[in-house]
Structure 1
Amino acid sequence: MSKADSVRAIRWEADQLLLLDQRRLPQEELILRLGDYREVVAAIRNMAVRGAPAIGVTAAYAMALAAREAAPYPDWRERLRGGAEQIKAARPTAVNLAWAVDRQWTLAEQMGAGADVATTLLQAAHDLLEDDIAANRQMGAFGASLMPDGGVLTHCNTGSLATGGFGTALGVIRAAVAAGKALRVYADETRPWLQGARLTAWELQKDGIPFSLNVDGAAAALMQQGLIQAVIVGADRIAANGDAANKIGTYALAVLAHYHGIPFYVAAPLSTVDFAMAHGAGIVIEERPPEEVTHCAGLAVAPAGVQVRNPAFDVTPAALISAIITERGVARPSFAASLRELRGA
């Protein structure tokens, strides 16, 4: 077990949801203690918790809190439905959020009375957290053999902080290191929230895994210099055909990897695959506030009043993806067939 695998960004304690506030890292390890589902919605929207699997688990706990509030009332179903809609609306792109809310709602609908719904949904959230950690470890086992001896480029944060624990793409890297691979990670800083600089670097440093932090614009030069042998990223939503939405800048890395003949891997649980969405053109891309671009660490870095485009994600076409690593195995093109096969496994 790596040291960073002991990091848990999501916990339940004393009837409250505890979240490690990822906006404050690495300078401060601040724990948010949330007892109201509306506070959890705000934490998701404001990026205190981020990463598709982590958002999904957090949403499941938010549903448990909403159920606890609704349970004493005769119209508890209507009240819980209203809470579910608020939780779903927190962030539109990551499919894990809606998936977890729908899963909890299905359980609630089966309840005959409101008395036990909160207990049932809370246990389901605990189970989902443990399932996510187990899935990440299995994903790592499947993906480790794909990792080279040499340089591996990654983007955003896909580790313990972005999941229940262990991580998706970073979990694959951890598993590869544990298996004896001599790799070095090149971590994109990942503007505008700097998840690579603040979070991935923090986790890799705790692990003692060799790494370098680089600005996003350096990726092409690193590939040109022969320093990168593979790229591995996570995903927030994957369409049925394999098109993958991930943190803005991922598509550019896939194009660069294709040009340089470097394999490009996506690591994500099957819950991230939206089998109802035929291709990536249907994925809603969240547009975030302009201040995230015009300011850095609270300081203005652009002229006042400048117009901003700030999409949080982009979509990488399946044709640029070498393989998708899941907890049930590795999917390869054609992804429409291979993902469906893994889903039925």
Structure 2
Amino acid sequence: MKQMLERHIPPLAARHPALMTVASATAGLLRSMAIKLYRPRHRPREQALWERYPSLPAVRCQLYREKSAGSNPTIVIGGFVPDATEAVEFQRPTLRRHGSIYYLNFPRNGFSQELFEGQLADLIDDLALNGERPALMAVSFGAGLLVEFLRRAPESIHEKIRGLVLVSPVLCTADLIRAAGERSGGVRMLESNLRKIMGADPANEYDLNRQLERARRCFQALFEAGAENRPLTTRHLTIRSRIFEVLEQTSNLGGYERVLALKRFAVPCGQRSIYSGPSLLLVAEDEESVLVPSSPTLCLVRDHERLRVMLPDVRLRKVSSPDAADPVAHASLIFHHHAFNPLLEDWLERLHRHPLWAVV
């Protein structure tokens, strides 16, 4: 059945775009019925920040929950795009088998690392009140946010986390921007955009807006490149629609403040532990299609001793494709889910079926 759908849906989409638009909208509606807004009962950190910074409510993350009967929840943090609710579309059944899924979608009109960390800590505490210890799953830029959070989080928060999943982590600016004089690797269009945004004068609204509009087109082009020559199902088309919607709805200020958050990430040195519990690090075989060769994160991944200082109980897995002509690219959870999902499922089974393994 799966092969039949993959064979027939692309030609159908080409012949009947209106029909596929309806199908995509239906798929999106079904997803929205399953994924609902969620508000923790106790939010002391978030509320304290609101009192100190009255403008912060406009840049708070939107928190969603997808309920499940399982008792082992997962908190998902996406990358720049798509939202967390779309980033793991093809991993949702796997995660839902173990427990409810909680998604942190970034705000559209700004970003605050401090508020993000307060919301995440409040959610972890909220789940602890129900006797639940979540696994935290973060993708690309989201993994950098999570690592920064763990560096500063108290031990009382660490103890309430069952485990970590880091997918194609981007842990610092130098992962995406080459050192002076380096010519190979990375995505030149993405790197060029980041350089110009980071170097832009915030007071020069025209220049900043121009650079951020270029960045929007860059992310659209990256998705379209990943989709090229692939059979796209209605789920793929729904995600594509949501990605483009997020890009259109995110204000220039929102994009700029996310880039500033990336700029503030500390370079991973591997000299001290950030989390001592079980962790899974999924690295794509073709990370260098996005990350530059001198990437500090790639250097850390290749140095197992330093990696185990930072994550003492880490399982490092290279995600590879059986098709040599279609290597797994950076954070390609949507197009290479068949390569990511078995590794994720195996690790979650171990994590949740052997409680002693998850003791921090």
| TM-score, length of structure 1 as denominator length | 0.29
More strand by share: 1
